[in-house]
Amino acid sequence: MEYKVALGPQHPALHEAVSLRMTLDGEIIRDADLKLGYSHRGIEKLAEERSFIQNIYLTERICGICSHSHTTCFTQGVEQLMELVPARRGLYIRTLIAELERVHSHLLWLGVAGQEAGFESFFMYTWRDREVVLDILEWISGNRVHYAMNTFGGVRRDIDELQKKKILDNLGLLRQRTDYYLNLAASEPTFIGRLAGVGKLSKEQAIALCAVGPTLRASGVPMDVRKDDPYAVYDEIPFEVCTADSCDVLGRAVVRVKELIQSYNMIEFILQNLPEGPFKVKAPRKVKPNEVYSRYEAPRGENVHYIKSNGSDKPERLKVRAPTLANYPATIAMLKSGFIADIPLIFAAIDPCICCAERLVQLDNPRSGESQVLSFSQLRSMANAHYKKIDLTKKEAAWPF
């Protein structure tokens, strides 16, 4: 007997709005289907109406976690169109932020994986350490999430000696703790037991379905844009591409922990070898008609921007492909013949970023199925009317103690 079960778009096991339709045979998933579009915002259309400078800040809003990934991918593409050579110090600082972002994203993922596997204390530990990275990012850029560091020709802020020292001190702490987690995860049989063998994706499948990032590398394919197609200053920084061949969620966790250690090494190298000189150069406003295909290795995998310019200060076309979209076909393959209980774990293992993968404001009435476009003020008056209806006596009730 087969059952069809819908999971989402709003569901406690998924953190963002995405809908999964599954065909179940008892507890085993026989077929799965993803339905997207719940957070599509029309960013590609919007970008055609904005100038290149405005688009840096628009692309930053594609994602909250890999905000720097999208701006760097866009900025380096437009710099190629402008035939502009960015300042070397600027490129080093750009790469520094990129690696700090990777550390914060991977620590976030480790916590989520711990939580989905039922290891809540691990979640608390890694998220505490993530605060350290977020503080570093705040010292450099003034912001915790949207750093707004990139501009054409370099970066917007410099780093001084005091900041350098502070970052290196905090990095020591992070390194110590990551080593502890590596030992903990490697020696904790319940954690390994929960992750091993879950969400299998063979090497052939991963290549055929065009998976990217840690999902692909955990299936034994050493593909990393930083190595294959070096951008910024990755051709000057020593690092290794981390892979695993267990092809399961455990492998994806191992790849990410190894990448954390690589990132710490890279951050240290960048700070010790930071070249002197200006951190940005002046960039032209208009761009000659041309096209560019820019690749970037975001924490979740290969991020791709295709930019076509038409001679004005606005792009003719901006195409964004975030890593999560590339990993969806692979996720379906991983879910098949798995258990219902493994869905959150498998889904979390690609480190999904739904808003990244979808890029109109339209509201659907769930009861009538009608759709209407509402202005902000209409929304506000609806909200006010809603709150007026709520019984306020509850609010004034006395505290029971």
Partner 1 sequence: MNNEEIIAKINSGLKDMVQEAVAAAPRRINVKVDRNHLLAVLAYLKDQFHMAHLATISGVDLGASFEVIYHLSNDVVTVNVRILTPRQEPKIPSICSLIPGAILYERELQDMFGMVVENIPDPRRLLLCDDWPEGQFPLRKDWKFERPAEIIPGGK
Which residues of the chain form contacts with partner 1 (CB under 8 A)? 36-37, 40, 42, 44-45, 80, 207-211, 223, 228-229, 291-293, 295, 302, 304, 306, 308, 316-317, 319, 321, 325-326, 328-330, 358, 360, 362, 364, 369-371, 373, 375-377, 381
Cβ proximity to partner 1, 36 vs 145, nearer residue: 36
Residue 107 Cβ vs partner 1, minimum distance, rounded to whole Å: 27
C-alpha pair distances (Å), 131 with each of 39, 105, 127, 174, 271: 27, 11, 7, 10, 20
| Rounded distance between C-alpha atoms, residue 146 and residue 106, angstroms | 17
Q: Report the candidate in 97, 82, 141 with the shortest Cα–Cα distance to residue 281.
A: 82
Residue 40 Cβ vs partner 1, minimum distance, rounded to whole Å: 5
* Cβ atoms 309, 81 nearer than 8 A: yes
Residue 283 Cβ vs partner 1, minimum distance, rounded to whole Å: 18
Cβ proximity to partner 1, 83 vs 131, nearer residue: 83
Residue 207 Cβ vs partner 1, minimum distance, rounded to whole Å: 5
Cβ proximity to partner 1, 95 vs 324, nearer residue: 324
C-alpha pair distances (Å), 351 with each of 45, 233, 285, 300, 325: 26, 26, 36, 6, 11
Cβ proximity to partner 1, 117 vs 221, nearer residue: 221
Cβ proximity to partner 1, 42 vs 64, nearer residue: 42
Residue 251 Cβ vs partner 1, minimum distance, rounded to whole Å: 19
* Cβ atoms 224, 217 nearer than 8 A: yes
| DSSP-assigned letter for residue 399 | P
Residue 384 Cβ vs partner 1, minimum distance, rounded to whole Å: 10
Question: How far is C-alpha 223 from the geometric centre of its chain's CA atoms?
Answer: 18
Cβ proximity to partner 1, 270 vs 326, nearer residue: 326
Cβ proximity to partner 1, 272 vs 377, nearer residue: 377
Residue 316 Cβ vs partner 1, minimum distance, rounded to whole Å: 7
> How large is the greatest C-alpha to C-alpha distance in the chain, in angstroms?
71
Q: Dihedral sign for Cα 51, 310, 360, 320, please.
A: negative
Cβ neighbourhood burial of 289 (10 Å; 0-12, 13-18, 19+): exposed
